[in-house]
Amino acid sequence: MLLVQNWMTEKLVTLSPEASVAEALTLCRERRIRHIPILEGGHLVGIVTDRDLRDASPALGDPERASALQKIQVRDVMTRDVITTNPEDSIENAAQVMYAHKIQSLPVVTDGPVVDEGSAVAEEEELLGIVTSSDVMRALVMFVGLPEPGCRIEVQTSNKAGVLAEIVGKIQHLEVDIVSVLSAPDWSSSGNRTLMFQLATTDPSSVIQSLRTGGYKVSWMA
């Protein structure tokens, strides 16, 4: 479920390098998109964002603005060294790549050359879709179970082996279903972790009491 192919947009809006910045801006506005893959001869050669287009645009009020936007080509403002992902990659890894490179989207391409059926000719990788930071956020929301009714609690604990199983056992003993669990280092306390549980209940009082009795620091997240 958490593969790029399950969250990417397949119906792409693309342009050629010869397209004008004016055309690209119109597409972004009309289609409500922020990233446009640039194709030449059917192959990905770049990507342009709404920020690239705005940065290349003369100031509002400039009498030459309209004609300038028609003259500037997408090839002059696009990013040529495009960072991509493949459909079998995990959405978590895609998020990590976007974060590391400070970008908001990844074109999704086939992993390696494509061999045309019925021939021995190998073609270049094929553009299949695009995954954006909004898609990653949507996947995360679904993954942690936030659309489901219930509540969240945070448990601060040590990194000792078996601690997660112990906490889960206490919750299950109270017959409360766990929708999801997230774990992260607790930066304020070296060697500890913070576990966030999404529970299928609107009143986790009994769970909180049980865990606090067991020596855990628990917070009920609003």
- Write the CATH number for 40: 3.10.580.10
Instruction: Mark whether 120 and 73 lie in a shared domain.
Output: yes
pLDDT bin (cut points 50, 70, 90) of residue 162 is confident
Summarize pLDDT for 94-146 with one digit per residue, the tens. 999 999 999 999 999 986 655 555 544 445 678 999 999 999 988 888 777 66
Summarize pLDDT for 102-115 with one digit per residue, the tens. 999 999 998 665 55
Asked if 137 contacts 153 with a C-beta cutoff of 8 angstroms, the reply is no
Instruction: Mark whether 95 and 205 lie in a shared domain.
Output: no
Instruction: Mark whether 41 and 119 lie in a shared domain.
Output: yes
pLDDT score for 170: 93
Instruction: Mark whether 204 and 96 lie in a shared domain.
Output: no
Q: How many domains does the chain have?
A: 2
Asked if 154 contacts 196 with a C-beta cutoff of 8 angstroms, the reply is yes
User: Phi and psi (nearest 5°) for 139?
Assistant: -65, -40
Range of the domain at 131: 4-142
Predicted model pTM:
0.71
Dump the DSSP string for the chain. --BGGGTSB-S---B-TTSBHHHHHHHHHHHT-SEEEEEETTEEEEEEEHHHHHHHSPPTT-TTHHHHHHHSBGGGTSBSS---B-TTSBHHHHHHHHHHHT-SEEEEE-SSPEEPTTS-PEEPP-EEEEEEHHHHHHHHHHHTTTTSSSEEEEEEEE--TTHHHHHHHHHHHTT--EEEEEEEE-TTSTTEEEEEEEES-S--HHHHHHHHHTT-EEEEE-
Instruction: Mark whether 118 and 172 lie in a shared domain.
Output: no
Instruction: Mark whether 57 and 129 lie in a shared domain.
Output: yes
Instruction: Mark whether 104 and 46 lie in a shared domain.
Output: yes
Instruction: Mark whether 136 and 156 lie in a shared domain.
Output: no
Instruction: Mark whether 74 and 110 lie in a shared domain.
Output: yes
Instruction: Mark whether 112 and 211 lie in a shared domain.
Output: no
